[in-house]
């Protein structure tokens, strides 16, 4: 697939991505702009990945949050935008991270329910396109024919759909919390 050692990919999906919700909540306290948070997340992931390439951290959770903390402190120094005292201590972050960890273990059936809940939260056209693909096994061209819209439009609905799913699964989405 790629020339990366496969365990780095597995590690990222298994241990880093589940922290995104807590991480986003943390970042949102200092940046209200959603796009800004996406940029910060990207920077954090890059730093974490860079270091994991040399060696996987002993505790991914604290490593990710320490990285986030350092990044924010760097920005504060550089931009002088956020007052330094609002960047909270690592101990306080630790608590938020623990809560995120409780969400990690999902048995198959719960997982399926969660996938359903995530689909419910998607825009209808994106949801429809994804279901036609994943349940009915149709290709993009066939989905376009079935939905009676251009293939290019289907492409956009799928694109928006998969991005929204990632935000719901990993990011800070109220949808995720409000549905049991």
Partner 1 sequence: MSDQVEEVGGAEALRIEAADWLMRQRTSDLWAQEDQAALESWLAKSPAHLLAYWRLEAAWSRTDRLAALRDVPQARPAQARRKNIGSFLTRSVAVAACFAVVGFLLLRSSVPLGREFSTSVGGHETIRLADGSLIELNTNTTVHVLDGGNGRTVTLDKGEAYFQIVHNQASPFEVLVGDRKLVDIGTAFSVRKETNRLQVAIVEGQVRFAPLHPKDGKPIYLSSGDMLVASAGKTSVTRLASPDLKSELGWRRGLLIFYRKPLADAAEEFNRYNQQQIVVVGEAAGKLPVSGALSANDPEQFVRMARNVFGLRVERRNSEILISR
**96 lines the binding site for partner 1 (CB under 8 A):** no
| DSSP per-residue codes, the chain | --SS-HHHHHHIIIIIGGGHHHHHHHHHTT---HHHHHHHHHHHHHHHHHHHHH---S-HHHHHHHHHHHHHHHHHHHH--S-GGGS--HHHHHHHHHHHHHTT---HHHHHHHHHHHHHTS-HHHHHHHHHHHTT---HHHHHHHHTS-HHHHHHHHHHHHHHHHHHHHS--HHHHH--
**CA pair distance 36, 43, nearest whole angstrom:** 11
The distance of closest approach from Cβ of residue 87 to partner 1 in the complex, given in angstroms and rounded to an integer, is: 21
Least distance (Å) between residue 92 CB and partner 1: 26
Quickly count: other Cβ atoms within 10 Å of residue 121's Cβ.
18
Nearer to partner 1, 90 or 153 (CB): 153
| Stretch in the footprint of partner 1 (CB under 8 A) among 46-54, 56-64, 76-84, 88-96 | 46-54
Site for partner 1 in 121-160 (CB under 8 A): 124, 127-128, 130-137, 139-141, 143, 146-148, 155, 158-160
Kindly indicate which of the ranges 27-35, 66-74, 78-86, 91-99 contains the residues binding partner 1, using the contact rule CB under 8 A. 27-35
Among 50, 74, 98, 104, binds partner 1 (CB under 8 A): 50
Question: Residue 23, interface with partner 1 (CB under 8 A)?
Answer: no
86 binds partner 1 (CB under 8 A): no
Q: How far is the CB of 6 from partner 1 (least distance, A)?
A: 5
Question: Are 174 and 25 contacting, i.e. CB atoms less than 8 angstroms apart?
Answer: no
CB 165 within 8 A of CB 103: no
What is the binding site for partner 1 (CB under 8 A)?
A: 1-4, 6, 9-10, 12-13, 17, 32-36, 38-39, 41-42, 45-46, 49-50, 108-109, 111-113, 115-116, 119-120, 124, 127-128, 130-137, 139-141, 143, 146-148, 155, 158-160, 162-163, 165-166, 168-170
């Amino acid at each position: 697939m790629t020339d990366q050692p496969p365990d780095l990919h597995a590690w990222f999906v298994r241990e880093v991505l589940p922290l995104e919700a807590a991480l986003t909540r943390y970042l949102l306290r200092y940046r209200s702009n959603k796009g800004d948070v996406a940029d910060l997340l990207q920077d954090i992931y890059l730093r974490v990945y860079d270091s994991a390439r040399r060696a996987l951290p002993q505790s991914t959770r604290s490593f990710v949050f320490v990285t986030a903390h350092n990044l924010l402190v760097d920005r504060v120094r550089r931009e002088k935008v956020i007052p330094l005292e609002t960047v909270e201590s690592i101990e306080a972050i630790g608590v938020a991270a623990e809560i995120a960890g409780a969400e990690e273990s999902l048995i198959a059936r719960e997982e399926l329910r969660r996938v359903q809940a995530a689909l419910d939260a998607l825009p209808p056209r994106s949801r429809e396109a994804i279901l036609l693909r994943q349940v009915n096994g149709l290709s993009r061209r066939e989905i376009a024919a079935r939905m009676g819209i251009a293939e290019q439009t289907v492409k956009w609905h799928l694109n928006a759909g998969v991005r929204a799913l990632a935000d719901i699964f990993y990011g800070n989405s109220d949808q995720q919390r409000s549905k049991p």
